[in-house]
Chains A and B, each alone.
Chain A
Amino acid sequence: MGALANYIERAGVATASISLIREQSEAVNPPRALWVPFALGRPLGSAADPEFQKQVMRAALGMLATATQPTIEDYPIEAPDEADAGQWLCPVNFAVAEDESVTARLLAEVTRLAPWSAETRAKRGRTLFGVTGAAPHQIDAVARALGTLAEHGNLSEAPVEGIDWQFDMPILVRHLADDLRTFYHEAIAAQPGSDAPNHDALNDWIFDGTALGDALQQIAKHLTEEGSPMSLLVRGLLIPEGRYEGGSAFG
């Protein structure tokens, strides 16, 4: 981010940067950076809070009037609390029958979540689902594709589901996972009593209580066994750090 600011300024356009990782801004030395004490994925601090967002923007843009040399300022206000892992519990509990395949369990989960996910899509009028190339009504195909990869471990061939996948294997795996995570996150957003859970709470749910989490662990194991640099990279892009049962996802 900071490097990009320096490159852009070479054309005479001033920049004001939001900084999430202060150490990286310090290393690059951008013209004006406002370090904010917010979580990754929340650069303006709080969703659906226009005034909070604008206060952060005013602080960053305000540096254009005050800084006279490369400067990093610290934003002093913490973001409003999100519901953390200890407070948030998904109201939907997926029963596990031991003789079911991970694909069958995934399909059962998306069936139970589908009305909630559809509700959020309708309410928001938008969705982040579909980066793989799938449409929301093709959620079963996405679940089947990921489940099949988990069960069979062939990570060199894209699953055939009649979808024009937007990525090649094995990077497609990472985005299949993201489309499913999006579907799950959009589903819980519609459920009664669901405050916005934070990153850790969402991951606790996905990895401790869903077939999606189990499928991702199985795929990570296949990637580890395959062992190529690309496979290990994809493992780190698939599973958040701290969640891989075999150790560090990037390690």
Chain B
Amino acid sequence: MNIQEIYQKNKKNIFFSENKDIQIHREKLINVFITDRFDKKSNESLKNINLKNFFDFKYKYLLPEETSVINNNQDSSYSIVSVNGQCASFKDDKIEITKISDKDYNDFSKNNTIEKNDHFVNLNSLFLNSGFKIIIKKNNNIKIKISNIVTDDDLTIFQKNNFICEEGSSLSLIEEYENKNNSTSNILNVIKLEKKSSLNHFLIQDNSSNHNLVITSHSSCKKESFYNQRVYNFSDGYVRNFHFSELLEINSEADLQGIFFLKDNNTSNNKTFVKHFAEDCKSNQVYKGILKDRAKATYFSNTHVDQVAQKTEGYQLSKGILLSDNASYFSKPELKIYADDVKCSHGSTIGPIDENAIFYLRSRGMSKNAATKILISSFINEELSSIDDEQMSELIQKKLIRYLSKVK
């Protein structure tokens, strides 16, 4: 693996490579890559990952000809088509979109206390070639839909986005990732929620088997803000969903949930991590996965409660259904608690579909296959019924039906 060489060769093509501060930071990152032995045993976040795919790659990037922002004032919603990680600048009285700046880069690299040694995030910082920043202005209530499109084969997109919800604002953000070409996207979303703001963030992932998606988010919540994230992964290609939240001030809340449907030889790595740094905060981390064929998945969840974070409520749930003998699921639900007045718990189950339930349904005249499908749907029913956007609910249902049609 020679990250250094790849970097030197493509430097011209990479954001901020002229900036001194950033150069120093990147040299440090390169050093980390050189010294790390990429030992899967001691670094469990590398489990099941084809290291060669990600750390010994051909760098290629194309600047797109056009990107768009469409503003529909009737229902105060915006549609953004982000091509190869780029987005056109835009400004009105509610939102402001700009290109990601070197200042944003430094802000992140200096203040990243959440997870310092994440190789994929380091890779993103090193090869950064796209990204944008969206500010939702004070007290606005808006809806944004972003379609993330990669135009060509062999592209490697390294994208960093900032989402800032100013005080009292409320954003519903739907992001779609549906790419059919042989390419890799490594995306880092840095999300800041100011006082009394809220963000409902939906990520719909449905890539073909030759597209790799690595998506990481770092969100931080100020007083009385609420970050609510839902991940729906229907991809045939590799997806890594790593999502971190920091609850910095009183009465804030983070809800990180996801469901994934894996088949064939596909792999998915998932992680959620909530750090409680203030009193009276709540967090939820719930992931459910269905795995068939030779699919593999990991899910790490972690609730960290700082000494000052009294009256914390933290909940974790991890559920996996294995539909085949060759599928495997690894989960590690962690609690790290340094405050005493807390209510934290986690539950985790892995197993087949309940045979008694199958038997019951079959005794009512249903075929085994139909029974299995019904039980899979019911397994994630709660997640699906909680979607209040009708259009999106329909979309997810369609994708679910497509997955179920492959269940024998």
Chains A and B belong together in one complex: no
B residues in contact (CB < 8 Å) with A: none
